[in-house]
Structures are given as C-alpha cells and as structure tokens.
C-alpha cells in the first residue's frame, strides 16, 4: 500500500487513505471522579496503615513531611469515587 492510499475496485477506481478506510472513532466515556484523603503516618506502623487503607480501595499518591513537624509524614491517598444510584 502506498502512502497515498490504495485503489478501490477496478482501474481508476476511488482512492482512499488509511484513515478513511478505518474511520477514527471517538467514544465518549464518563470522566473518572476521585475522592482524596490525607493520612498521618506513624513511623512504627507505616506498612500497617497503608495496608489498611489499601484494603479499602485507597491508592497511595504521595508521602510528604507534615506541615508542623517535618519528622511526621503525611500520606495523600485517592480512590475512584463511587456513584450511588437510588
């Protein structure tokens, strides 16, 4: 197949490009909505704390030093927001 496309049926037939032969289809998907939480991490129980939140569907995004005490760590967590339909 050439860069310009390929010939259709018969000589001199219609020509089309790859994009015309396989149209680009866009399907609208609902935007993912997230909920967030900040969690103080205790140095001696970090794994247990993260495991507990992970079991509830939370994903760790980032760990940063606490605002008042750099030795205190804060975890930023997110999970997909559940849409409840009545």
Residue 10 has pLDDT above 80, yes or no: no
Mean pLDDT of 55-65: 97
22-50 residue pLDDT tens: 566 777 888 899 999 999 999 899 999 99
Contact present, 81 and 38 (Cβ < 8 Å): no
**The residue count for the chain:** 86
Number of H helices, E strands in the chain: 2, 5
pTM of the model: 0.61
Q: Where are the domains of the chain?
A: 33-58
Task: For strands 34-41 and 73-80, give the pairing.
Answer: antiparallel
Distance, CA of 4 to CA of 16 (rounded, Å) = 8
Higher pLDDT, 28 or 52: 52
What's the confidence (pLDDT) of residue 14?
A: 61
Higher pLDDT, 21 or 45: 45
């Amino acid at each position: 197949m050439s860069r310009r496309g390929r010939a259709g049926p018969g000589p001199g037939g219609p020509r089309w490009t790859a994009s015309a032969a396989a149209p680009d289809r866009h399907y609208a998907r609902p935007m993912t909505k997230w909920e967030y939480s900040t969690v103080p991490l205790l140095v001696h129980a970090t794994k247990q704390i993260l495991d507990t939140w992970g079991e509830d569907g939370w994903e760790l995004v980032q760990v940063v030093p606490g605002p008042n005490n750099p030795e205190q760590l804060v975890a930023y967590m997110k999970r997909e927001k559940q849409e409840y339909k009545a």
